Structures are given as structure tokens and as C-alpha cells.
Amino acid sequence: MTRELFWLALTVILTGLLWVPYIINRCQIRGLSGAMANPSRNDKPHSEWANRLMFAHDNAVENLIIFAPLVLILNLADYSTKWTVMACMVYFWSRVAHLIVYTLGLPVFRTLAFTVGFLAQAVLALAIFQVL
């Protein structure tokens, strides 16, 4: 496994686990049967942090759709440099930072974390065309 694929795997695992805390919150607020029921306009709302975590999860999924193919294309091209490895590592940690600051409700830091992740994706996109 390449180092880029390692960071992709960690990112996928992180993204795949983000639903757990807000579902636990849903069970605490609505009870197990309420959490398993079909959504209704009359449902008790999640805690604010859980709502923000849901949005962070959505954003993580939306960006994984961009990040994963970039890494896989580089892997298929057998192209790896210290910059592509670093970009993948930076992307993962920017996603961790994004979910933490988003969940805590820190908007400026959320935007900064997102931007760092976007720039890491840009490095990977440029590497595909071997511009770096």
C-alpha cells in the first residue's frame, strides 16, 4: 500500500465513522424507537453540536468524492512524490480539524480547515498532470 493510499484509507474510515456520535445523540433525544423511526416534522431536534456534526459529515462525504479519485488516479499512474504524500496527510488532518471546529461551532477556523483541505486536493490535481 502506498502512503497516499494509507491516508486515503484513514480518510475513508474517518468519514465512515462520523455518523456515530450524532446517532447516539439522536437516541438520547428521541429514544431508540424514535431514532429508528422514519423522519417526521414533529421529531425532537438534535443538539446543536450534533446538527453541526451532521453538516461536517455531509461536507466530508462531498469532499471524499473529489479526494479519493485524485489519489486513485495517482496510484494508477504509479506517481508518488513527497508532495503527494504530504498533500494526502495534510488533507486527512484538515478534515479532522474541520470536523472538530465545525462541531464546536467555530466558523472562521472551519473555513480555514476547509481551505487547507482544498489546497491539498489542488496539489494532487496538479500532480496528476505532473505540474509539480
Q: Which tens digits make up the pLDDT trace of 95-117?
A: 999 999 999 999 999 999 999 99
Share of the chain above pLDDT 90, in %: 93
Cell of 113: 480547515
* Contact present, 91 and 120 (Cβ < 8 Å): yes
CA angle 106, 108, 114 (to 5 degrees): 95
Task: Give the chain's domains with CATH numbers.
Answer: 3-38+46-128 (1.20.120.550)
Q: Classify 116 in phi/psi space as left (phi over 0), alpha (psi -120 to 50) or beta.
A: alpha
Predicted TM-score (pTM) of this structure: 0.93
Mean pLDDT for 75-98 is: 97
pLDDT at 19: 96
**10-45, pLDDT tens digit by residue?**
999 999 999 999 999 999 999 999 889 998 898 999
Is the pLDDT score of 132 beyond 60? no
pLDDT at 130: 86
End-to-end CA, the chain: 23
